[in-house]
């Protein structure tokens, strides 16, 4: 049976090797079953903004300010005292299987232990590696290569609580059946940040550089219905300005530039202090 169509009654899912908490306090969005942040490789948190209008119970929605060309990860913390499964989709594609996602309980997902945290950094291509997420134009996105624009620019999560069964943590021996992509695709370079910013097209998430990210397979039986769902709509700054989500016409943030090209700084060294005048 095709793995992404496996019934939720017998579904076998992934357990991420959980990452340690980042040093210092973090700002988390929402206060439901999980906390969700979008973070840069150095741990900085991308800004999120609340949406307006009617809200549904256990459904959380935010806007996020995206930076063209920037790598990012999705940091999720389990706020509950029980095991949970998290289906994660970026631009409408499941980040583990790559298939079109409906956030269903039968899809591939990551499993988190009580009160633990993990950062999902990219599209999973094997048991030991992922290809990094980065913000780019929709034409350059991973979903775009499949001709799928049905959920472009959205990071979506569905949280499933575990059914209580015996031997919850029995490890499995089978491996992924999905072959790794061709190397030329894996090494595809993202478009320049300026090129993306100038285009003002809808943002998407690219298929970036390979990075090591080992996981192990476990047995997990989710409840039939999701306990909560989270949606983050990421947009370029100009779009959020036009929507009135953020205030514009103000000086740029000197610690968080709009262009990823500026993140590394000018490369200059610190100057000597000016001479004292007596």
Q: What is the pLDDT of residues 126-143, one digit of tens each?
A: 989 999 999 999 999 999
Quick check: helix, strand or coil at residue 258?
Answer: coil
Please give the residue that has the higher pLDDT: either 9 or 51: 51
pLDDT of residue 180: 46
Q: Is the pLDDT assigned to residue 187 strictly greater than 70?
A: no
pLDDT of residue 16: 37
Instruction: Look at residue 274 and tell me if it is in a domain.
Output: no
Instruction: Look at residue 273 and tell me if it is in a domain.
Output: no
pLDDT of residue 190: 41
- Answer whether 14's CB lies under 8 Å from 217's CB: yes
Q: How many domains does the chain have?
A: 1
Burial of 89 (0-12, 13-18, 19+ CB in 10 A): buried
Instruction: Look at residue 213 and tell me if it is in a domain.
Output: yes
pLDDT of residue 151: 93
Instruction: Look at residue 40 and tell me if it is in a domain.
Output: yes
Handedness of CA 24, 27, 28, 30 (dihedral sign): positive
Q: pLDDT tens across 6-50, in order?
A: 333 333 344 433 333 333 333 345 557 899 999 999 999 998 998
Span 136-152, mean pLDDT? 92
Instruction: Look at residue 266 and tell me if it is in a domain.
Output: no
Confidence of residue 270 (pLDDT cuts 50, 70, 90): low
pTM: 0.68
Q: pLDDT tens across 204-260, in order?
A: 999 988 888 878 887 788 888 888 899 999 999 889 998 888 888 766 666 765 544
Instruction: Look at residue 265 and tell me if it is in a domain.
Output: no
Instruction: Look at residue 271 and tell me if it is in a domain.
Output: no
Confidence of residue 269 (pLDDT cuts 50, 70, 90): low
pLDDT of residue 272: 57
Q: Is the pLDDT assigned to residue 271 strictly greater than 90?
A: no
pLDDT of residue 69: 93
Please give the residue that has the higher pLDDT: either 211 or 269: 211
Q: pLDDT tens across 67-102, in order?
A: 999 999 999 999 999 999 999 999 999 999 999 999
**Structural domain of 48:** 3-256
């Amino acid at each position: 049976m095709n793995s992404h169509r496996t019934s939720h009654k017998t579904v076998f899912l992934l357990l991420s090797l959980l990452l340690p908490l980042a040093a210092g306090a973090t700002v988390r969005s929402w206060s439901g079953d999980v906390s969700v942040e979008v973070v840069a490789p150095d741990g900085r948190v991308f800004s999120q903004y609340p949406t307006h209008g009617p809200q549904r119970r256990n459904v959380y929605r935010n806007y996020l300010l995206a930076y063209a060309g920037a790598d990012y990860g999705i940091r999720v913390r389990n706020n509950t005292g029980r095991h949970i499964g998290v289906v994660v989709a970026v631009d409408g594609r499941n980040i583990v299987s790559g298939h079109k996602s409906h956030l269903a309980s039968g899809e591939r997902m990551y499993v988190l232990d009580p009160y633990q945290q993990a950062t999902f950094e990219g599209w999973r291509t094997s048991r030991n590696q992922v290809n990094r997420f980065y913000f780019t134009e929709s034409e350059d996105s991973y979903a775009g290569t499949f001709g799928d624009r049905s959920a472009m620019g959205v990071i979506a999560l569905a949280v499933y609580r575990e059914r209580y069964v015996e031997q919850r943590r029995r490890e499995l021996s089978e491996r992924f059946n999905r072959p790794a992509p061709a190397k030329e695709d894996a090494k595809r370079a993202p478009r320049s940040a300026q090129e993306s910013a100038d285009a003002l097209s809808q943002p998407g998430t690219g298929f970036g550089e390979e990075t090591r990210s080992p996981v192990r397979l476990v047995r997990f039986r989710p409840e039939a219905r999701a306990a909560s769902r989270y949606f983050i709509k990421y947009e370029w700054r100009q779009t959020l300005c036009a929507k009135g989500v953020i205030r514009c016409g103000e000086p740029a943030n000197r610690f968080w530039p709009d262009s990823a090209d500026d993140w590394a700084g000018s490369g200059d060294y610190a100057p000597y202090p000016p001479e004292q005048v007596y």
